[in-house]
């Protein structure tokens, strides 16, 4: 009888914990997926040099997040270099590369991972997402480069997945330009990454706009990455 009572108490305890973290939260990470037009998840992430990048402090210009499994780093590198030249260097948008490190190998230290990426030397701020904040918000498939755009007001504008190609870049560039506020910053950014089903972006005045769909080139065979987490 005593053991049965303990088991019941344990079940009640775990149920309350689960309800607190899942059902009672307005946006439980396990069941909730951001859609275009919704406020993007708050993040405060450090880059390779220890600088904090806080989503609320970056408002006022669009934020472009790039992410993928490390096996696709050279593919993401093409996106980063090209987007940096057009948008970050001109001060029109923040371009950030995010790596999901929620499940990095247990026998690898954080310092080792940081040193590996420092050696790689990404051309844009490289954010270390140790808790997988970005991935959980969007249910990201890391086996392909992800291009995520947040508008100047902090709302998700679009989430596209494409290997780099001139045609794919032209489409993404057009969607980002639609998010640029009427008076774009003149100085470069200081300091130092579910496709949208309807190809919807959010214009500077807050209204949704429909954009022409992107037709990617035939994807070349590439090394298989992991789905569900990036590292």
CA dihedral 39, 185, 78, 229 (to 10 degrees): -20
Residue 136 lies in a domain: yes
Q: Residue 54: what pLDDT?
A: 94
Residues 61 and 152: beta-carbon distance below 8 Å: yes
Residue 122 lies in a domain: yes
Based on C-alpha coordinates, what's the Rg of the chain? 20
The overall longest dimension of the chain from CA atoms, in Å, is: 74
Could you tell me the CA-to-CA distances from 188 to 86, 216, 229 in Å, in that order?
11, 30, 32
Q: Residue 132: what pLDDT?
A: 87
How many folded domains does the chain comprise?
1
Tell me the average pLDDT of the chain: 76
**pTM score:** 0.68
Q: Whole domain around residue 185: which residue ranges?
A: 34-210
Q: Which of 193, 47, 190 is nearest to 117 (CA)?
A: 47
CATH of the domain at 88: 3.40.30.10
Residue 156 lies in a domain: yes
Q: Which of 127, 161, 158, 132 is nearest to 144 (CA)?
A: 161
Residue 7 lies in a domain: no
pLDDT in tens, 120-173: 999 999 999 988 888 888 888 899 999 999 999 999 999 999 999 999 999 999
Residue 92 lies in a domain: yes
Residue 58 lies in a domain: yes
Instruction: List the structure tokens of 133.
Output: 């904040």
pLDDT in tens, 103-132: 776 677 888 888 898 999 999 999 999 888
Residue 25 lies in a domain: no
d(CA 155, CA 201): 10
pLDDT, greater one: 39 or 201: 39
Residue 47 lies in a domain: yes
């Amino acid at each position: 009888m005593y053991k049965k009572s303990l088991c019941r108490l344990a079940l009640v305890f775990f149920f309350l914990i689960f309800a607190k973290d899942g059902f009672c939260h307005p946006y439980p990470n396990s069941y909730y997926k951001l859609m275009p037009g919704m406020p993007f998840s708050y993040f405060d992430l450090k880059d390779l040099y220890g600088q904090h990048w806080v989503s609320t402090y970056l408002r006022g210009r669009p934020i472009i997040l790039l992410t993928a499994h490390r096996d696709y780093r050279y593919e993401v590198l093409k996106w980063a270099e090209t987007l940096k030249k057009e948008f970050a260097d001109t001060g029109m948008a923040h371009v950030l590369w995010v790596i999901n490190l929620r499940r990095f190998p247990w026998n690898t230290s954080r310092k080792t991972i940081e040193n590996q990426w420092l050696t790689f030397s990404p051309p844009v701020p490289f954010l270390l997402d140790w808790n997988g904040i970005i991935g959980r918000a969007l249910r990201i498939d890391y086996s392909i480069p992800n291009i995520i755009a947040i508008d100047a007001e902090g709302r998700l504008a679009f989430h596209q997945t494409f290997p780099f190609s001139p045609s794919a870049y032209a489409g993404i560039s057009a969607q980002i330009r639609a998010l640029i506020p009427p008076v774009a910053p003149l100085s470069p950014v200081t300091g130092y990454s579910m496709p949208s089903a309807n190809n919807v972006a959010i214009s500077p005045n807050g209204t949704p706009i429909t954009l022409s769909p992107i037709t990617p080139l035939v994807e070349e065979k590439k090394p298989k990455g992991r789905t569900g987490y990036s590292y």
